[in-house]
Structures are given as C-alpha cells and as structure tokens.
Amino acid sequence: SRALKTMAMELHVPVIALAQLSRAVEGREDKRPLMSDLRESGSIEQDADIVSFLYRDDYYNKEARNDDNTSISELIIAKHRNGPTATIELLFKKNTSTFLNLRKEDKEV
C-alpha cells in the first residue's frame, strides 16, 4: 500500500485500492466492518487517506430482507485523514446493484 500511496503522490492522481476483510467480522454480533478487519491487508489502514466500507444488514440478517429488491445500506467512512468520519445511509437496488441517495420515504423499506 505504501507503493500505491507513493504513486498517487508522484502522479497527482487518486488511487482506489480494494481489500478483502478478515473473517473476524463473521464471529461478531455486529457485522459492521471495522478498521481492524483490514489487519491482514498490510499497511492499508495506516497509509490510506480514506477508508470506507459498505454494509448491508440484510446480507447477514434474514429478518431485514424484503421482497422489493431494495434495502438500506450503510457507507461507513471509517477514516478520513482530512475530514470527519461518518456513516451515510443509502438505498441499494439489488436488481441493478445500484446505490442511491436515501429519501425519507425510502427509510420505510
């Protein structure tokens, strides 16, 4: 990850790196990913300017599933070197794998 960071700085371009989570998330009651779940991915946690995760409760929780091909997802900004961290709710459309801004009426999903 250090080489990616160096390349981004030298070329003045953003670089997006993807990492697989460790299986530790499977053993927790709250399945939301944490920065510590990236431990096996080298120094991504340290080198990254922004670390974000996507979380869908209906993936883990059958009671949260519905029949209309939509669900509420969370975009978790776990690290932001130059700004705040946050959790942002999004509408996920399963049939098109699309994330949309969540409206008030969508929260009833």
Distance CA 8, CA 15 (A): 6
The pTM assigned to this predicted structure is 0.84
> In this predicted model, what pLDDT tens digit does every residue of 22-78 receive, in sequence order?
888 889 999 999 998 887 666 888 889 999 999 999 888 877 677 788 889 999 999
Per-residue pLDDT, 15: 93
Amino acid at 8: A
**Token pair 């991504």 in the structure block, residue:** 44
Distance CA 6, CA 95 (A): 38
| E strands in the chain | 50-56, 70-80, 86-93, 98-101
Contacts of 57 (CB under 8 A, 6+ apart): 31, 64, 71, 72, 74
Q: Are 17 and 1 in contact (CB under 8 A)?
A: yes
Mean pLDDT of 80-108: 89
| β-bridge partners, 96 | none
